[in-house]
């Protein structure tokens, strides 16, 4: 397990472009060493703000989109045309200005062509196979969930019982109630995990997660080489802060 690094920003407006810039630079570095760089994208409103910032600056960098493979950490089990799909929201932002290669985009299956979330998750796990994410982006929910792994819910309980890379989720606390999610097995083999949280309503779970509270999914996810927490000042407000006086 890697050490956790916490990066704090005064606001989401400051956090998003800084995180996007770090992401673009890191992807360029990784592309120097390999033919393909695999990135897992998060869903959620805060992540969309990050993607907006990334779309605004990435084209001005040396990033080669022909080497970029995009995956998703979780998805709503809704029709392909549903605008609330995590993949649709991300791609509608990224593809607006960036030359995304469609054959290297791997959205999770939808209700179109599958019978239930379990079947969709099984198909995605097979597609993922031995792929290891170079960078895995994860948003942290107000209850401490990551992807669609929720505390005090079967989606969390099953993590210690399964060797699968993805599972279906029923009766999720957030609508829609049917979802798919990568498991901790898939997430924790990522080389780097970057977690994102914004807002005072997340301050308590961020503090608990960084104290490794085992009841929170966010406390159990980590990268093999790096684990970075990107927080605005409100989300980090319950963390210790030391000011050096000279």
Domains of the chain as residue ranges with CATH = 10-130+145-197 (3.40.50.1360)
21-75 confidence digits (pLDDT tens) = 999 999 999 999 999 999 999 999 999 999 999 999 988 899 999 999 999 999 9
Radius of gyration of the chain (CA): 17
Per-residue pLDDT tens over the stretch 206-216: 999 999 999 99
Tens-place pLDDT, residues 156-195? 999 999 999 999 999 999 999 999 999 999 999 999 999 9
**Helices and strands (DSSP H and E) totals, the chain:** 7, 9
pLDDT confidence bin for 241, thresholds 50/70/90: confident
For the segment 139-160, the average pLDDT, to the nearest whole number, is 97
How far the first Cα of the chain sits from its last, in Å, is 35
pTM of the model: 0.95
Interatomic CA distance for residues 117 and 131, integer angstroms: 21
* Closest to 109 measured CA to CA, from 122, 95, 93: 122
* Dist. CA 106–CA 121, nearest whole Å: 13
Average pLDDT, the chain: 95
Residues 6+ apart with CB under 8 A from 84: 76, 78, 176
């Amino acid at each position: 397990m890697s050490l956790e690094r916490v990066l704090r920003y005064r606001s989401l407006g400051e956090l998003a472009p800084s995180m996007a810039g770090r992401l673009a630079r890191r992807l360029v570095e990784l592309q120097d060493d390999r033919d393909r760089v695999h990135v897992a994208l998060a869903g959620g409103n805060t992540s969309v703000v990050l993607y907006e910032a990334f779309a605004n600056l990435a084209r001005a960098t040396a990033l080669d989109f022909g080497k970029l493979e995009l995956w998703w950490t979780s998805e709503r089990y809704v029709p392909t045309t549903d605008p609330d799909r995590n993949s649709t929201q991300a791609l509608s932002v990224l593809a607006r200005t960036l030359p995304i290669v469609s054959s290297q985009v791997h959205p999770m299956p939808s209700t179109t062509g599958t019978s239930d979330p379990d079947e969709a998750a099984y198909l995605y796990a097979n597609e993922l196979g031995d792929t290891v994410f170079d960078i895995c982006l994860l948003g942290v929910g107000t209850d401490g969930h990551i992807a669609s792994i929720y505390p005090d819910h079967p989606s969390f309980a099953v993590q210690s019982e399964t060797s699968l890379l993805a599972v279906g989720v029923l009766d999720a606390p957030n609508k829609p109630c049917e979802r798919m999610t990568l498991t901790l097995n898939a997430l924790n083999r990522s080389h780097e995990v970057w977690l994102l949280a914004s807002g005072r309503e997340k301050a308590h779970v961020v503090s608990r997660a960084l104290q490794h509270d085992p009841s929170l999914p966010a406390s159990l996810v980590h990268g093999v080489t790096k684990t970075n927490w990107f927080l605005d000042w409100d989300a980090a407000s319950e963390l210790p802060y030391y000011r050096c006086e000279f």
